[in-house]
Chain A
Amino acid sequence: MPLNTQQAEDDGQYVLVAKLDNARNMSTILKAVHFKETALVIASAMGLKVTVEDSKCIQANAFLQAGIFQEFLIKEEQVTFKINLTVLLECLNIFGSSSTPGSTTALRMCYAGYGSPLVLMLEEGGVLTNCSIKTQEPDETLDFNFCSTNVINKIIMKSECLKEAFNELDMTSEILQILMSPDKPYFRLSTFGNAGSTHSDFPKESDMVEAFNCTQTQTNRYKVSLLKPSVKALSSSVRVSIRTDNRGFLSLQFMIKNEDGQVCFVEYYCAPDEDMEEDYDS
């Protein structure tokens, strides 16, 4: 078919070509990490990793594995560029962000290598949109050095119950305190705002808790302003894993199901608030 051969010829110039029948499967995941304007994109044979950071204290990573794409071709081992995530999301949602049943936007995304723009071709209902977004020099991202061997406490729970607590976080409180313990109260979120302190307890016997592995009582404090963006990821997710390591670093992993039932992960790493470090060696 002429169109496919034409595309194959064009594709010759690209180091990365990805095709998706439903652009929302990508935009929903990217929205979950959209709390700053720029993002770093790393493409490899495994898929895409999109990283957003703030204040050197928080990092969010969105994983779009190659398997969710109808086609994912990469000519190099790794391709990296920095891009304006706000603009990218506007382009992915060019036909409107509301999901009308039955209508999907098809996406073809191409990148010709260092210095080239990211090219998007989106089609819905016979209307075609072409986008060309300038890419920038990639920045170094932080390595939070969070490894599973150093994990002290881990809880996996259904996102539902955590959504309410996070949505109602007292924004007049500068910090969010997270207590995780093998003993009561097991898992407690606390804020200390103008009106007073609030505590939300989640017992380990709750139906909402799917796995509970806490070895040590830990109380850690994190800046609310840094963690609040993770609400975006939480609200699209079905399941969340909360882990803290021996330094008090927090890892939140969100499992998000897309419209085709495929699972993608978004993770947030947050460093504890330095000003109020608690001594948690018990």
Chain B
Amino acid sequence: MRFRGKLVDIGCIQHFTRVVSTISKLAKTCTLRINQSKLYFILSERVVNGGVSIWCELTQGHFFNEFNMEGLAEDANEIFLELTPENMVKSLKSAQNAKWVKMKLTKKHTPCITFEVELPSLTSHSRTVVHDVPVSVIPKRLWDEFEEPEMPDFDVSIYMPPLKVVRNVVDRMKNLSNFVVLSANQSGELILKVETDLVSVSTHFRDLTHPQWTKDKDPNVSQTPTQTQQRDPQEFVEVRVDIRKFAQFLSSQQVGPQRVICNIVDNRIIHFFLLHDDVSLQYFMPVVSM
């Protein structure tokens, strides 16, 4: 197994850092999957992760100037590593003014991703910083745990209002209750609501827009547009979630501005889909029954 990549453009380095930073705020440990064209940060749905699952996909070509990888075998040309994203962030933080950053899979006392950062220098001598981020290699028999999650057969799909506003409101609601109910309809309305014995607070967003899903645009979409259209557009669907997890998701977002799609299956699934030019992030939160 080999992996070597070099980031040269300072914009790419900073962008990559922001993406990894977002991941680090969402998960303590996660899986890094590498193939010829993409990098993925994956958190699979497990009780130990509190039911949250993350799928973050980066197109390698938009970040790396040089990229070489050799997977486990010819018929399994991928690399799966488990690591702590915060360690990657710490390494990348020293690269914010770098001339270039090299990432390499190495074997030190343990397998590592080694970051080599060439810093600007006033003299002719180069200044290099080297970080070793320990990783553990995930065996092939576990690879099927890290497949792309199925796009849910959602009831409502809506573009979120600016996350900053949602975040402010949820941060306050967090002090009032442990759970928040998100409801949305296909008429541009989204409501956040907390309710306890002492107080009930509901925030109503209007005039939001909806993404147009078609089978052609995304082969993962199992439903045709007409399915969503069969619903009464005024009808609300809702899910109840742990408010802290939702607040954590909102405060983790470092990469912006972007469109954030929220897909809801009534009382069952909530799925956030962040689309950016070169990176997409999917976030599933566990739903607590009403």
Which of A's residues lie within 8 Å of B, judged by CB?
A: 84, 86-87, 90-91, 93-96, 125-134
Contact = CB atoms under 8 A, between A and B. Distances in A.
Contact of A134 (B168, B197, B204): B197
A91 B202 contact: no
Contact of A127 (B171, B172, B204): B204
A84 B203 contact: no
B203 A132 contact: no
Contacts of B206: 126-128
Interface of B: 161, 165, 168-169, 171-173, 175-176, 197-207
Contacts of B197: 134
A133 B204 contact: no
B201 A96 contact: no
Contacts of B207: 126
Nearest to A96: B168
Contacts of B203: 94, 127-129
A142 B41 CA distance: 61
Contacts, number: 58
B165 A95 contact: yes
B168 A133 contact: no
B207 to A, nearest CB: 7
> Which 8 A-B residue pairs are closest in the complex by CB-CB distance?
A96-B168, A129-B203, A131-B201, A128-B204, A133-B199, A94-B172, A132-B200, A90-B172
A126 B169 CA distance: 14
Nearest to A124: B165
Given A87-B176, A90-B172, A93-B172, A127 B198 contact: no
A90 B175 contact: yes
A125 B206 CA distance: 11
Contacts of B200: 131-132
A90 B173 CA distance: 8
B204 A91 contact: no
Contacts of A94: 168-169, 172-173, 201, 203
